[in-house]
Amino acid sequence: MQIMRQALDDTERRIAAALLASPRASWRDVARCLGLSERTVVRRAAPLYADGTLRATIVRNPARFPHLIPIALRVRCRPNKIRQVAHALARRTDTVWVDILGGGDEISSVFFLDGPEARNTLLLRDLPATDAVGSWTAHTLLRVFPTAFRWTAGLLSPEELAELDPAPTPPTAPPAPLGIDTALITALTEDGRATYTDLARRADTTALTARRRLDALVRGHVLRLATEVDLALLGAHAEALLWIAVRPGALRETAQTLSFHPQVRFCAATTGPANLVVALAATDLDALYTFLTDAVGPLEGITAIDTTPLLATVKRTGLIRHSS
């Protein structure tokens, strides 16, 4: 059984932050960005991947997969059964994240459901048949704002971040599907840092073709490279979900403003009375309070907000947490 680290030193935290910003960055690039030797980066980073403290993967962009229906669920459960329900949701292959919220009786989960039938089965059969579940609300994700994915816990300077991961380009038309895509996606989901040689072997192609295809899929915003890590190891000890009601005319501007904030790691427009969901990772409760007063407070389009702290993370970026 893999045992994740309980703490990282300053060098390890900066290396992890660099790999959050650029999940497939070479050891040489990370070393140049952080002013370290390549040997130091390898010596510090390789064990973090070996013990599962860092895990590289990919996340599909549902906007590029027309059959996928992205839904955020808020599920209320009996407190004595909440971990059982959370783990059952995490074991599903169609969940991307699963968190236990608030007072210990609510779960938040994001699903990428394989079409209307899968959605109806979940909402009309699976959840009603679960005795421990009391109620739920479903929110379809209408648009995800990708700038929030550049969260690095403030451990990289703007210059370091720009050198390692240039500002994202506007979305382009996705490349036409190819037969090798399924194999590449499967391999990268298992190991987002798999070598191009390994990807070529899995997809029965050449390393050059695998590299070009992955570049095209990332540039076309079909896939997002991701590094999974317990954010508390990077100094974020107050995570929360903010369910925000925004006037429709101000929704885009509000979402874009919040998605650029350095403490925001996820931001999406949704259906429902709260039409914007924001995942926040702050240093502590005082930083969370400051975010609410200084970043959210001045935004005139916001009419209501429901702040729900995260108690435990069971699944993130499609990967079940070892520590959970």
pLDDT in tens, 87-133: 999 999 999 999 999 888 999 999 999 999 999 999 999 999 999 99
- Give the model's pLDDT for residue 296: 97
Both tokens of 241, joined, read 């979900």
Both tokens of 131, joined, read 């005795």
- Give the model's pLDDT for residue 169: 59
pLDDT tens for 304-316 read: 999 999 999 999 9
Asked whether 68 and 59 are in contact (CB, 8 A), the reply is no
State the SS3 of 34-52: HCCCHHHHHHHHHHHHHCC
- Give the model's pLDDT for residue 316: 96
pLDDT tens for 57-70 read: 999 999 999 999 99
- Give the model's pLDDT for residue 323: 59
Judge whether 81 lies within some domain: no
| Segment among 35-49, 52-66, 167-181, 307-321 with least mean pLDDT | 167-181
Mean pLDDT, rounded, for 123-147:
94
Whole-angstrom Cα distance, residue 169 to residue 152? Answer: 19
Q: Which of 243, 241, 245 is nearest to 288 (CA)?
A: 241
Whole-angstrom Cα distance, residue 182 to residue 127? Answer: 30
- Give the model's pLDDT for residue 173: 76
- Give the model's pLDDT for residue 89: 97
Q: Based on the structure, what is the number of domains in the chain?
A: 1
Asked whether 270 and 139 are in contact (CB, 8 A), the reply is yes
Mean pLDDT, rounded, for 245-255:
97
170, pLDDT greater than 90 = no
DSSP H helices, the chain, are 10-21, 27-34, 38-50, 82-91, 116-121, 158-164, 181-190, 196-203, 207-219, 251-259, 285-290
Per-position b or e across 234-255, b if 16+ CB within 10 A of its CB: bbbebbbbbbbbbeeebbeebb
Q: H or E segment at 246? A: strand 238-246
Sign (positive or negative) of CA dihedral 250, 253, 259, 264: negative
Mean pLDDT, rounded, for 199-216:
96
Q: What are residue 102's phi and psi, to 5 degrees?
A: 50, -120
Judge whether 247 lies within some domain: yes
- Give the model's pLDDT for residue 324: 43
Please give the residue range of the domain that contains residue 264.
234-310
267, pLDDT greater than 90 = yes
pLDDT tens for 216-245 read: 999 999 999 999 999 999 999 999 999 999
Indicate the pLDDT class of residue 3, thresholds 50, 70 and 90.
low
CA 115 from chain centre, in angstroms, equals: 22
Mean pLDDT, rounded, for 233-261:
96
For the chain, percent of residues with pLDDT exceeding 70: 96
For tokens 């990428």, name the residue: 112
Beta bridge mates, 224: 59
Both tokens of 294, joined, read 């200084």
Query: Is the pLDDT higher at 146 or at 15?
Result: 15
171, pLDDT greater than 80 = no
| Segment among 29-38, 41-50, 165-174, 250-259 with least mean pLDDT | 165-174
Which pTM value belongs to this model? 0.91
Question: Please, which residues have CB within 8 angstroms of residue 283's CB and are 6 or more apart in sequence?
Answer: 235, 236, 237, 238
Judge whether 252 lies within some domain: yes
Mean pLDDT, rounded, for 36-44:
97
Instruction: Give helix then strand counts, H and E, for the chain.
Output: 11, 11
Judge whether 95 lies within some domain: no
- Give the model's pLDDT for residue 265: 95
The C-alpha angle with vertex 67 and arms to 65 and 68, in degrees rounded to 5, equals: 70
Judge whether 306 lies within some domain: yes
Judge whether 302 lies within some domain: yes
Indicate the pLDDT class of residue 164, thresholds 50, 70 and 90.
confident
Judge whether 293 lies within some domain: yes
pLDDT tens for 294-304 read: 999 999 999 99
Both tokens of 34, joined, read 């952080």
CATH of the domain at 289: 3.30.70.920
Indicate the pLDDT class of residue 249, thresholds 50, 70 and 90.
very high
- Give the model's pLDDT for residue 2: 58
Judge whether 162 lies within some domain: no
Q: Which of 270, 274, 290 is nearest to 282 (CA)?
A: 290
**Average pLDDT taken over every residue of the chain:** 93
